[in-house]
Amino acid sequence: MNSVHIGKLLPRYQRIARFCGTTMAKEQRQSDNKVYFHYNHTDPCKFARWTTRESFEFMHGRPWQEVADFYSNVVNGNLSLLQLFDEDFIVDKSPMQTHNNLDVAKLSEVCNRTDFEGTLKEDRSGRLERVTFKIVLSYHGCSFDGWQKQPGLNTVQGLVEQCLGRFVDERKAQLLKEKSKPLEGCAAVAGRTDKGVSALQQVCSFYTWRKDIRIQDIEDVINSTAPGKFRAVSISEVSRSFHPNFSAKWRRYLYIFPFNGGENREPSLRCGEEENILTENGHYGGQRDVSDELRWEGDDNNLIVRDDGELQGPKKSSTFTVCKVNRLLQQLEGKLLSYRIFARDTKASRSIGPPTECYMYHARAAEATIPQPHPGAGRTVMCIELVANRFLRRMVRVLVATSIREAAAGAEDDALLKLMDATCRRATAPPAPPEGLCMVNVGYAEFDPRNCIIP
């Protein structure tokens, strides 16, 4: 290219550079001048609700590492979820609802029972003569970047499919080789988990046309891949019609919310009795005195008057009780509702109508204690158990954080139901940290309310 052409192109590049610089400066000014609005709640409550930042700081300022370590021990089989609860918590001493008497192995067997394992003798021939395996996995969420396979990330799906690559049939292996793709299997899953979310009985499936595969071989390969972080709980051959997601009838999640140091409280009181108040600094007071509490309804009734006569912001509470959270969540049971306001990062086509509707079978909260390997008092936590036919993206974490926020604000027991009618997702709290969430199991038979962790 000669100097004449270069001279003609320079003004053009200079104009492009000036345009880009002007655009970037304009966007920067708009960002600096951007005003963030908080959702104007109209539902009455005793205190003003936390802002988004206040909710975020309250939820993240917790000893989450202890929760992550507990899940790691459960994944490795060193501890059980039921060890979170002691006998003082139990209300009903019936065998199915008593934590100390509940057989974990039996519960897992009931929840994982399917109608697809008894139809293996169906007529199959030709290309339809394939073998489908149901794989129940347990993994520590903090050791992976979520379930979904993504380039350059250590994901559970990527690890599983890498293991299953040894069992693909010759035709698929040749096809992958021709396309210069790695030799990997294809795994379908019951529900994708985010980074940091653990799973105790995640269900996935894999099919192949090979007939020489033994279940023990698959289990050995999976368990030798990432010991201590990832293992196969069980593997079984099922019918071709089995799909871990579409065949599932319900999912169970457990969220563990840890209290800060010094929050180990006196023996737990049952809901309905006098409640002790849990404060953010870890002290418990006596019964709540509501004589001087004002209701916050969006006006100035809850403003604090200082000694000099000046008005401060609305009074906000950093206290809540586990029983209050439990009452808020119980309002969701037995109802088919749209949880779009509690979802995050969903597609436009899945943000309205039936795709947002979920049926909540069970929603409870209870106080528990993380067991310690050495003698001494363990970490006091609040456990939230949610069982529904389906869950939206980040729905559990948003629901947990919003329940705690509403409980601290002293909202009415139907506050979560009223939030369903909100038009903006800012009406709910930001998602709770993923380290506290665990997918417990997936059910392929009808849900039995007697088989619950929290009665």
Give the separation between CA 455 and CA 453, rounded to whole angstroms: 6
- Cα separation, 76 vs 231, in Å, equals 8
69 is catalytic: no
How many of the other CB atoms lie within 10 Å of CB of 296?
Answer: 24
Q: Give 104-111 contacts, CB < 8 A, sequence gap 24+.
A: 104/80, 107/451, 108/201, 108/233, 108/441, 110/445, 110/448, 110/451, 111/201, 111/252, 111/441, 111/442, 111/443, 111/445, 111/451
Place of tokens 């368990």: 223
Residue 209's Cα: distance from chain center in Å? 35
Q: How far apart are CA 166 and CA 120, in angstroms?
A: 23
Chain centroid offset of residue 381 CA: 16
Q: Spot the catalytic one: 92, 194, 413, 414.
A: 194
Q: How many Cβ atoms are within 10 Å of 173's Cβ, its own excluded? A: 13
Which residues does 105 contact at the CB level (< 8 Å), separation at least 6?
none
CA distance 132 to 209: 9
Catalytic residues: 194
